Amino acid sequence: MESTNGLYRYTIGQRRGLGVSYREPLFVCGFNKEENEVVVGTEEELYSKEITVNEVNLLLIDKLDKPLECFVKTRYSSKMSKATIFPVDSKNNDLIKVVFDEPQRAVTPGQSAVFYTEDYIVIGGGKIM
Sorted by where each begins, the domain ranges of the chain are 7-41, 46-128
Q: What is the pLDDT of residue 115?
A: 98
Q: What is the pLDDT of residue 19?
A: 85
Q: What is the pLDDT of residue 20?
A: 87
Q: What is the pLDDT of residue 4?
A: 64
Q: Residue 53 and residue 17: Cα distance in Å, rounded?
A: 30
- The gap from C-alpha 87 to its chain's centroid, in whole angstroms, comes to 17
Q: What is the pLDDT of residue 3?
A: 63
Residue 86's contacts (CB-CB under 8 Å, 6 or more residues apart) are 64, 67, 96, 97, 98, 99
Q: What is the pLDDT of residue 6?
A: 82
Q: What is the pLDDT of residue 76?
A: 87
CATH topology assigned to domain 46-128: Elongation Factor Tu (Ef-tu); domain 3 (2.40.30)
pLDDT in tens, the chain (129 residues): 666 678 889 999 999 988 888 999 999 999 999 999 999 999 999 999 999 999 999 999 999 999 999 999 998 888 999 999 999 987 777 899 999 999 999 999 999 999 999 999 999 999 999
Q: Residue 6 and residue 52: Cα distance in Å, rounded?
A: 26
